[in-house]
Chain A
Amino acid sequence: MFKKIDLRNKTALITGAGKGLGKASAIALAEAGAKVIIISRTLSDLTKVEKLIKKTKGSCLKFECDVTNLDQFKDILKKIKRLDILVNNAGNNRPEHFTKVKKENMEYLVELNMKAAFNVAQMCSQKMVELKSRKKIGGSIINMSSQLGRVGAPIRSVYNMTKFGLEGLTRGMALELGKYNIRVNTVCPTFVETPMVKAFFKNKKFKQQVLESIPLGRVAQENDVSTAVAFLAANSSNSITGTSFMVDGGWTAK
Chain B
Amino acid sequence: MAKFLKDINLKGKVAIVTGATKGIGRSTAMAMHQVGASIIAIGRNINELASLKKKLKIRIQCIECDLNDYEKISREINKIKRIDILVNNAGTNLPEPFLKVKKSSLEILLDINTKAAFNMAKLCTDKMLKLKSRKKIGGSIIHTSSMFGLVAGPNRSVYSMTKFGIEGLTKGMAVDLAKFNIRVNSVCPTFVATPRAKKYLANKQFNKYALSNIPLGRIATESDVATAITYLSSDASSMITGSSIIIDGGWTAK
Asked if A215 is at the interface of the complex by the 8 Å CB criterion, the answer is yes
How far is the CB of B10 from the nearest CB of chain A, in Å? 10
Q: State which residues 1-33 of B face A: CB under 8 Å.
A: 1-6, 8, 27, 30-32
A135 to chain B, nearest CB (A): 9
Q: Which of A31, A55, A215, A225 has the most CB of B within 10 A?
A: A215
* B242 adjacent to A253 (CB under 8 Å): yes
Q: Is B34 an interface residue when CB atoms closer than 8 A count as contact?
A: yes
Tell me, rounded to whole Å, the shortest Cβ–Cβ distance linking A52 to chain B.
Answer: 7
Q: Give A236's nearest chain B residue, CB to CB.
A: B227
Count A/B pairs, Cβ under 8 Å. 178
Q: Provide the residues of chain B in CB contact with A228, threshold 8 Å.
A: 237, 240
Say if the beta carbon of B217 comes within 8 Å of chain A.
Answer: yes
Instruction: Out of B4, B230, B252, name the residue touching A2 (CB < 8 Å).
Output: B230
Among the interface residues B8, B170, B218, B227, which one has the most CB atoms of the partner chain A within 10 A? B227
What is the chain B residue whose CB lies nearest that of A177? Answer: B215
B243 at the interface (CB under 8 A from A): yes
Q: Which residues in chain A, 238-254, are within 8 Å of chain B measured between CB atoms?
A: 238-243, 245-250, 252-254
Cross-chain contact A238 with B250 (CB below 8 angstroms): no
Q: In the complex the two chains form, is B253's CB within 8 Å of A250's CB?
A: no
Known: A2-B31, A249-B178. A178 touches B231 (CB 8 A): no
Q: Which of A32, A220, A240, A246 contacts B243 (CB 8 A)?
A: A246
Q: Given A175-B250, A178-B249, A252-B242, decide whether A1 and B217 contact each other with a Cβ distance below 8 A.
A: no
The interface residues of chain A lying within 8 Å CB-to-CB of B4 are 24-25, 27-28, 31, 222-223, 226-227
A 1-24 to B, binary, CB cutoff 8 A, 1 in contact else 0: 111110000000000000000001
| A residues less than 8 Å from B231 (CB atoms) | 231, 236
Chain B interface residue count, CB cutoff 8 Å, equals 56
Asked if A217 is at the interface of the complex by the 8 Å CB criterion, the answer is yes
- Across the interface, A221 reaches (CB within 8 A) one of B220, B239, B245, namely B239
Chain B residues whose CB sits within 8 angstroms of the CB of A125 once the complex forms:
none
Q: Which chain A residues border B119 with CB–CB below 8 Å?
A: none
Residue from A4, A28, A189, A250 with most neighbouring chain B CB atoms (10 Å): A250
In Å, the complex CA distance between A230 and B236 comes to 11
Does A32 lie within 8 Å of B240, measured CB to CB? no
CA distance A188 to B218 in the complex (A): 26
Q: Which residues of A contact B (CB under 8 A)?
A: 1-5, 24-25, 27-29, 31-32, 52, 55, 170-171, 174-175, 178-179, 181, 183, 189-190, 215-218, 220-228, 230-231, 236-243, 245-250, 252-254
A-B contact sample (16 more), CB < 8 A, given A2-B34, A178-B249, A189-B239: A4-B8, A175-B250, A175-B253, A216-B183, A217-B178, A222-B4, A223-B5, A237-B227, A239-B220, A239-B221, A242-B215, A243-B246, A247-B237, A247-B240, A249-B239, A253-B175
21 A–B contacts from the bound complex (CB under 8 Å): A1-B30, A1-B226, A178-B249, A216-B239, A223-B2, A223-B3, A223-B6, A224-B237, A224-B238, A224-B240, A226-B5, A227-B4, A237-B247, A239-B189, A240-B248, A240-B249, A242-B248, A242-B252, A245-B243, A250-B241, A253-B242
